[in-house]
Chains A and B, each alone.
Chain A
Amino acid sequence: SQQGEEDPQALSIQEGENATMNCSYKTSINNLQWYRQNSGRGLVHLILIRSNEREKHSGRLRVTLDTSKKSSSLLITASRAADTASYFCATAPYSSASKIIFGSGTRLSIRP
């Protein structure tokens, strides 16, 4: 069951520009997480935002959460070639606290 859906599915921007990815989900959550996956590799945890938080920053990353709209966004500022990867949101639903559910991902390409 896919809880989260990312938008857009693919994004190509110029190096130095900002990249914004969105995630929508269906059920109430305890927290929402964003992960990055380089091609053919495992996922790397980027940032977690709890259901009672609205915004969180980590370096060049900014995550927002709107529980009333069941949506989140990930902003990467001043993009670099190394940011080229797939980005996934994952939600920890109230109904099943012991697992998280991943969305289908956004493929981000940074043009030099």
Chain B
Amino acid sequence: DGGITQSPKYLFRKEGQNVTLSCEQNLNHDAMYWYRQDPGQGLRLIYYSQIVNDFQKGDIAEGYSVSREKKESFPLTVTSAQKNPTAFYLCASSPPGLAGLIYEQYFGPGTRLTVT
């Protein structure tokens, strides 16, 4: 059963704590992405990775960190430096396209993070 899994579905943390969100895919996709979604808003790109051991900052990378040690896994750490971390976090992957062009993305179910 192929797809993207994110865990946990809901996550609660105290302010000042780092927290790591899991994202795993068994679609054999090279590219993986992390997005943040605030209520009633679209998706904003945090980080993306086109290949193992390589990743790039997206539009809102400050206060976040990632690693890509395995093709299947792209965990996101929300650090205490992130000013407003409460949000819905979505992970996605994408099959390779011609010349690195992106076609459709496949999304996980998301993790809702609440920091108090």
Task: Give A residues with C-beta under 8 Å from B.
Answer: 1-2, 4, 30-31, 33, 40-45, 48, 88, 90, 92, 97-105, 107
Residue of B nearest to A93 (CB): B102
Contact in complex: A99, B33 (CB < 8 Å) = yes
B22, chain A: closest CB distance, angstroms: 14
Task: Give B residues with C-beta under 8 Å from A.
Answer: 4, 6, 31, 33, 35, 40-45, 48, 50, 56, 58-59, 88, 90, 92, 99-110, 112
Residue of A nearest to B45 (CB): A99
A103 surroundings in chain B (CB, below 8 A) = 42
A48 surroundings in chain B (CB, below 8 A) = 103-104
B88 surroundings in chain A (CB, below 8 A) = 40
13 A–B contacts, CB within 8 A, in A order: A1-B59, A2-B42, A33-B104, A42-B107, A42-B108, A43-B107, A45-B105, A48-B104, A92-B102, A97-B101, A98-B102, A100-B102, A102-B35
Those 9 A-B pairs whose CB atoms lie nearest each other, nearest first: A42-B107, A45-B104, A102-B43, A104-B42, A102-B42, A43-B107, A97-B101, A42-B109, A98-B100
B107 surroundings in chain A (CB, below 8 A) = 42-44
A102 surroundings in chain B (CB, below 8 A) = 35, 42-44
